[in-house]
């Protein structure tokens, strides 16, 4: 069975500092990896997915199959980035639902 691990429950950084939210996964096949974000009092929403190789709101994430990691990075944090971030894995073929990590609460201090 697949598993997603987010080692940090809470990450606090100052505005303008770089941010890295860690995500490691275990899965025997070729998964798709996602980052979802949940701002205060809002629904869970997709931030980015590895196959798109895009930057959203300044965030990027690279899939490292050797290290089975999909860390989320942003060079300069902004206060509006404060939120819960969840890393999620979709098994190859997409037949099953997402498996989520426990989430990291990112707090950007002014």
The least CB distance from residue 94 to other proteins, in Å, is 3
For other proteins, which stretch binds (CB under 8 A), given 3-11, 18-26, 64-72, 73-81?
Answer: 3-11
Residue 100, H or E segment: strand 99-100
* C-beta of 10 vs 28, nearer to other proteins: 10
Stretch 73-92: interaction string toward other proteins, x if CB under 8 A = -------------x-x-x--
Q: How many helices (H) and strands (E) does the chain have?
A: 0, 11
Q: Does 60 bind other proteins (CB under 8 A)?
A: no
In whole angstroms, how large is the CA radius of gyration of the chain?
Answer: 13
The least CB distance from residue 49 to other proteins, in Å, is 7
Q: In this structure, what DSSP letter does residue 79 have? A: G
Strands 99-100 and 83-90: antiparallel
Q: Does 100 bind other proteins (CB under 8 A)?
A: yes
For residues 90 and 87, give the distance between their C-alpha atoms in angstroms, rounded to a whole number: 10
Q: Summarize as ranges the residues that interact with other proteins (CB under 8 A).
A: 4, 6, 9, 32, 42-46, 49, 86, 88, 90, 94-103
């Amino acid at each position: 069975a697949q598993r997603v691990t987010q080692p940090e429950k809470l990450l606090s950084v100052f505005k303008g500092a770089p941010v890295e939210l860690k995500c490691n996964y275990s899965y025997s096949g070729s998964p798709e990896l996602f980052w979802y974000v949940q701002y205060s009092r809002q629904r869970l929403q997709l931030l980015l997915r590895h196959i798109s190789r895009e930057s959203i709101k300044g965030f990027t994430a690279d899939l490292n199959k050797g290290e089975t990691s999909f860390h989320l990075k942003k060079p300069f944090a902004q206060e509006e980035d404060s939120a819960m971030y969840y890393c999620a894995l979709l098994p190859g073929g997409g037949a099953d639902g997402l498996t989520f990590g426990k989430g990291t609460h990112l707090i950007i201090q002014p």
